Structure 1
């Protein structure tokens, strides 16, 4: 029995499909089961509720061999610690209580670097990894740079204004990763019963790109000029709080991008094993372009 949290997320959906194709027996923890495709609901066990809830995650872990763990984005959280380690603490107790053997979690690059010491969600994610590993399970943190998927939130601005914006230095080359490639790595680890102990598995897209280079690729794919605009930290925070993000979480996000600008995502050496297949151009053609054209 494999337990999958956040099964309707950008990582969770392809992960569930991959594991079902492998013939795995799945139990999904979902706040809203109606967001699951009917053909998926017919083939899985369901536990309805938040996986941050003590009773929900306790029921989900009963008899589980392995768990996929993804702490959901929570812009309204009082701080990053609450959003990651606070949210995860009930699960760690459930892992130990039910003797869960293996956990695969989604986390961030940067362990052991000075940049990670004050990097908002990254710092909190690494503390979450330590908390899970301390529960006694075998643990693999799938550590990632920024997701290509995040650009979908700017599909309207790309279509209507011909621009996308971030805090990132326009000339900083860094890795990106497609969520489907993260899901494929997680599926492989969940299906493999041979690994033990605690460790990290990096997922780096096949190329390092700057925002200016991303804009060039977007322009070619969409057939129109797309520009990149760097947003100062203060304006970035204001934009987030305007969307309802708490002050502390907005500051945490600004701290994360400041750390990325100082090389946080560039510290992980690229290897054949850590390099994932989906290029930014391919992702733009297959995912972003249809969203912009919709």
Structure 2
């Protein structure tokens, strides 16, 4: 079986590649720079080097594959990240059709079910529609809030705070992206038929106040959650060099998934994964904050 994998150096894609290799597969990895791949994996993968915005590259790279793991990368430094996401999704769908790819596992997000009004998540919603129309059997994994997003707030946490535009008592699904990769790899190996949507919600729904307390206990630092306004976040992003469309896309992700929003897929045995924020924060954040 030939399984093509995008974002093989990302938080989710790297786990997918590692598990496929350990299962005896030789995945075809689509990577911008092969030098970023771990050296120990190179003998066990087929490398296709190029840019996912290059539709000709994607079409050639997935041709003849039995299955595709598709994750649309978000580039906050792009001039218009949302437009890039839609372009990449169009290229993926065209490549799947032309290349005769039978099955696709795609990574999406809680909030994509809204279709509009959730910032950059709207790009994932459009990707869901694009790949659903490709003719392949498509499994969409709508994932919760990645633990790894906290890595972008290390300086804040060192100063004792964790900022969000969410209400501090608003609970949402938090998930380790490695667990998402494990679900994706299992589904790629096991197979399915038809088009389906499944959620990956992590072990528990947490508020930002609860998350800050968990991170505090795990790292030995006193960290308190604080709420900022959308305008404050937008101003900070613009000051950091993001374009107006990029800043609007980031702000919109939280704005579109609060105020009464509830995920279409609920929490049950099929959506709950094992790794806790406590375990992840102790192993990953604690060394970075000490």
Aligned to 1:7: 8
Aligned pairs for 1:103-182 (under 5 A) are 103-110=104-111, 112-113=113-114, 116-159=115-158, 161-182=159-180
Give the C-alpha shift of residue 228 in structure 1. 1.2
**Alignment CA distance shift 1:119-1:285 (3 Å):** same
SS at match of 1:38: coil
Aligned to 1:251: 248
Matched, 1:69 2:98: no
- State the alpha-carbon separation in 2 of the partners of residues 223 and 104 from structure 1: 38
Aligned pairs for 1:43-58 (under 5 A) are 43-58=44-59
Contact map agreement 2:6 2:13 (CA 8 A) in 1:
yes
- State the alpha-carbon separation in 2 of the partners of residues 178 and 112 from structure 1: 21
Give the C-alpha shift of residue 242 in structure 1. 2.3
Output the TM-score relative to the length of structure 2: 0.94
Output the TM-score relative to the length of structure 1: 0.93
Aligned to 1:187: 185
Contact map agreement 2:55 2:88 (CA 8 A) in 1:
no
Please identify, of 243-252 and 20-29, the stretch whose mean Cα deviation from structure 2 is larger. 243-252
SS at match of 1:95: helix
Gapped regions of structure 1 (runs ≥ 5): none
- State the alpha-carbon separation in 2 of the partners of residues 117 and 94 from structure 1: 25
Give the C-alpha shift of residue 111 in structure 1. 5.2
Aligned to 1:288: 285
- State the alpha-carbon separation in 1 of the partners of residues 9 and 113 from structure 2: 32
**Alignment CA distance shift 1:226-1:111 (3 Å):** closer
Tell me which stretches of 4 or more aligned residues in structure 1 moved more than 6 Å: none
Aligned to 1:20: 21
- State the alpha-carbon separation in 1 of the partners of residues 95 and 285 from structure 2: 38
SS at match of 2:152: helix
SS at match of 1:175: strand
SS at match of 1:176: strand
Please identify, of 223-232 and 14-23, the stretch whose mean Cα deviation from structure 2 is larger. 223-232
Aligned residues: 289
- State the alpha-carbon separation in 2 of the partners of residues 253 and 111 from structure 1: 14
- State the alpha-carbon separation in 1 of the partners of residues 112 and 39 from structure 2: 40
Gapped regions of structure 2 (runs ≥ 5): none
Contact map agreement 1:110 1:268 (CA 8 A) in 2:
no
**Alignment CA distance shift 1:95-1:266 (3 Å):** closer
RMSD in angstroms over aligned alpha carbons? 1.6
Contact map agreement 2:53 2:84 (CA 8 A) in 1:
no
Give the C-alpha shift of residue 266 in structure 1. 4.4
- State the alpha-carbon separation in 2 of the partners of residues 248 and 155 from structure 1: 25
Contact map agreement 2:111 2:256 (CA 8 A) in 1:
no
Aligned to 1:238: 235
Give the C-alpha shift of residue 86 in structure 1. 1.5
> Could you list the per-position Cα deviations for residues 271-294 of structure 1 after superposition, in whole angstroms to 9, with x for gaps in the alignment?
11111111111111122212323x
Aligned to 1:97: 98
